[in-house]
Structure 1
Amino acid sequence: MTVLSGATASGRQFYQGQLSTSSVTTLYTAPAASSNVTSTTAGTSGSSGSAGSATAYVKEIVLSNNMSSSVTASITIGPNSSNQYPFIPNVTINGFDTKIISGLNTMLPANSVIQGFASAAGIYCTISGVEIQ
């Protein structure tokens, strides 16, 4: 990836709120492509090409349980809402406890999606990171 002189990096909160218990919900979508950041991607035939790309980096996820009983939460990442891959699968948060997953540096290509779900009500989630455009 090449970051051009016009690029900006902004630390921000990608999501803060209660995770849904009825369905998997989109929590964050990475920015669309930008001419200030370029990346080389391999084609299906092994050739490589260059395309503009905005990127986002997930730095920290905080999961807090506001209920007395344990609850399981899952966070997935994928290229779109239909193609998701486990990122933080089935983590149990004890009653009135918090899980902090820090030290992350997970890159999200342009338009990638973070989704989440909880097995019961009471799980609050904060996702922080950096966007480069």
Structure 2
Amino acid sequence: MAALPGERAALERAISAIGQSRARLIRTLAEGFGDDAHDLDPDQEKQFRDAIRREQVTLGAEHKQRAEQLAHLQAPKRAARPADSAAPLQALLLVDGDLALVPEEIQRRLYNAFELEIRYSRPREELTLRVTST
């Protein structure tokens, strides 16, 4: 499925807007408080700087997400061969490690890819896991 030109353009605009927002935040942090500096106590100043840093982290994550979406749209599509479809499952079966140590974002993508369903029956104290591999 090819990317719609509007979809690509919207992502490019969003990435540009995020970049501009990040630049404004950095300028604000660098410039400090201007004429209002004498009105802020040290705790207020720290709260101000912490809020800017949190927003910078949020914008960074959003920028990364949009860039990944754009890269996905621009990536050439290829048909999956039968041998390719079993590869992720085979690789998963060979993993020897604690999935709790894997970053949450990667866990979510993995669980979504295999349509993981977990059901717990409290009366029977039974856990049922179901995955789907196509």
Tell me the TM-score normalised to structure 1 length: 0.20
Larger RCO (CA under 8 A, 6+ residues apart): 1
Structure possessing the higher radius of gyration over alpha carbons: 2
Greater share of residues in helix: 2
Tell me the TM-score normalised to structure 2 length: 0.19
Greater share of residues in strand: 1
